[in-house]
Amino acid sequence: MENARRSVYVDNAATTAVSEEVLEAMLPFYKEVYGNPSSLYELGQRAKAPLEEARATVAACLGARPNEIYFTSCGSESDNWAIKGAARAQRRKHGKDHVITSAFEHHAVLHTCQALEREGFTVTYLPVHEDGLVRVEELEAAITEKTALVTIMYANNEIGTIQPIPEIGAVCQKHGVLFHTDAVQAVGSVPIDVKAQNIDMLSLSGHKIHAPKGVGALYIRAGVFIDNFMDGGAQERGRRAGTENVAQIVGLATAVRRAVDTVDERVARLTPMREKLIDGLLKIERSRLNGSRERRLPGNVSFCFQGVEGESLLLLLDMHGISASSGSACTSGSLDPSHVLLAIGLPHEVAHGSLRISLGDYNTMEDVDYILEVLPQIIERLRKMSPLWDAIQTGKVNYDPYM
């Protein structure tokens, strides 16, 4: 096969490049304005003002108030804080020790819920249907008087399905249960309004939207009682101590502002690219799109190809300059296929052949054309040497019901 002809980065759900605009916004805070925002003198106050401006920006982008935004080090931290902090406080204050989540959450949520189970909490893992969506009525049926918290992701990181968040918010409000959502993948792709959508806590991350790695935020609705994340100084209203990462917080706010202001353009630009990719890949024999085609992020294309294994697929794509992922990057290193694909009902045999392409602001239709040129050849090459493909073709095994 030919060597790489171009470089196509289509793993934007894993991370993104820091944008020029974000970088420029951050740079002064490394050199000139290095003061500690907690300091009284001018250099400190010159850092304090942009910090609070950043808070107001993020708040405005989510429909929140500035005093409801807390800066963190990443999306995982936000998830950990929201879930553990709220669940423990609920148990202490109200004796509630039940948490509801879904089977296909990010590990930052799933493993946090498992940690709560070790503390004696009961956790309900709602099933996810074949379309990659949870059912609001099943969620409502799972709520008991012991339920402290519901945590359901806004959009899935792997198959890109967008959950019925406003409906879930309404149900939680009706039953007086706190509702947290991991919106790391959704910011910039879906319009978010925490008040209108009845969201009590929301996690977001910078590096998925062209801010640097190592910065995130948590929205906590005023009045929600939650344990402190880190004890220490008075930063972040005393709930998350530690000198603020001013430069990256300013970068995060710049990125959130850009992402949210351009949601409509992004959806309009990425959707035709996504649709062309899906149409093109569905032409490959015995392939399937994972999750609902309609209720999905504009940049997400998740497929399974029978008879092909995901890692070898990624390695060959990489040799052609294409950076994509198979399942979630967090699952590499384990030999089991992604819990997300298993949760939507796929057998291991099919889930092993998964590919996630996640388009972002820097991708073009030419990238899509290049992928559609290269990928079918790679699938063909792998299938030609695959004894599983041989068995599929001779009818010894049949996975077509899952297609």
Q: Which stretch binds other proteins (CB under 8 A): 19-27, 167-175, 201-209, 329-337?
A: 329-337
Q: Which stretch binds other proteins (CB under 8 A): 25-33, 153-161, 345-353, 370-378?
A: 345-353
Contact set for other proteins, span 305-324 (CB under 8 A): 307-309, 311-312, 315-316, 319
| Contact pick of 31, 335, 394, 401 for other proteins (by CB under 8 A) | 335
Q: Smaller CB distance to other proteins: residue 4 or 268? A: 4
| Contact pick of 281, 337, 357, 370 for other proteins (by CB under 8 A) | 337
Q: Shortest distance, CB of residue 347 to other proteins, whole angstroms? A: 8
Instruction: For 353, list phi and psi in degrees, rounded to 5.
Output: -95, 40
Binding mask 129-148 for other proteins (x = CB under 8 A): --------------------
Q: Smaller CB distance to other proteins: residue 66 or 376? A: 376
Q: Shortest distance, CB of residue 379 to other proteins, whole angstroms? A: 12
Q: Smaller CB distance to other proteins: residue 6 or 348? A: 348
Q: Shortest distance, CB of residue 336 to other proteins, whole angstroms? A: 5
Does the footprint of other proteins cover residue 234 (CB under 8 A)? no
* Residue 113 annotated to the active site: no
| Beta-bridge partners for 162 | 155
Q: What secondary structure, in 3-state letters, does the chain show? A: CCCCCCCEECECCCCCCCCHHHHHHHHHHCCCCCCCCCCCCHHHHHHHHHHHHHHHHHHHHHCCCHHHEEEECCHHHHHHHHHHHHHHHHHHHHCCCEEEEECCCCHHHHHHHHHHHHCCCEEEEECCCCCCCCCHHHHHHHCCCCEEEEECCCECCCCCEECCHHHHHHHHHHHCCEEEEECCCCECCECCCCCCCCCCEEEEECHHHCCCCCCEEEEECCCCCCCCCECCCCHHHHCECCCCCHHHHHHHHHHHHHHHHCHHHHHHHHHHHHHHHHHHHHCCCCEEECCCCCCECCCEEEEEECCCCHHHHHHHHHHCCEECECCCHHHECECCCCHHHHHCCCCHHHHCCEEEEECCCCCCHHHHHHHHHHHHHHHHHHHHCCHHHHHHHCCCCCCHHHC
Q: Contact at 8 Å (CB) between 344 and 104?
A: yes
Q: Shortest distance, CB of residue 290 to other proteins, whole angstroms? A: 17
Q: Contact at 8 Å (CB) between 301 and 278?
A: yes
| Contact pick of 117, 347, 373, 380 for other proteins (by CB under 8 A) | 347
Q: Smaller CB distance to other proteins: residue 95 or 347? A: 347
Q: Shortest distance, CB of residue 2 to other proteins, whole angstroms? A: 12
Q: Smaller CB distance to other proteins: residue 45 or 114? A: 114
Q: Shortest distance, CB of residue 399 to other proteins, whole angstroms? A: 9
Residue of 61, 113, 304, 330 with catalytic role = 330
Contact set for other proteins, span 363-392 (CB under 8 A): 384-390
Does the footprint of other proteins cover residue 397 (CB under 8 A)? yes
| Contact pick of 52, 119, 130, 336 for other proteins (by CB under 8 A) | 336
Does the footprint of other proteins cover residue 334 (CB under 8 A)? yes
Question: How many CB atoms lie under 10 A from the CB of residue 398?
Answer: 10
Q: Any idea how long the chain is? A: 403
Q: Smaller CB distance to other proteins: residue 62 or 316? A: 316
Number of residues that bind other proteins (CB under 8 A): 26
- Identify the sign of the CA torsion 168, 174, 180, 186: positive
Q: Shortest distance, CB of residue 307 to other proteins, whole angstroms? A: 7
Does the footprint of other proteins cover residue 285 (CB under 8 A)? no
Name the residues that contact other proteins, by CB under 8 A: 307-309, 311-312, 315-316, 319, 332-337, 347-349, 352, 384-390, 397
Catalytic residues, which ones?
330
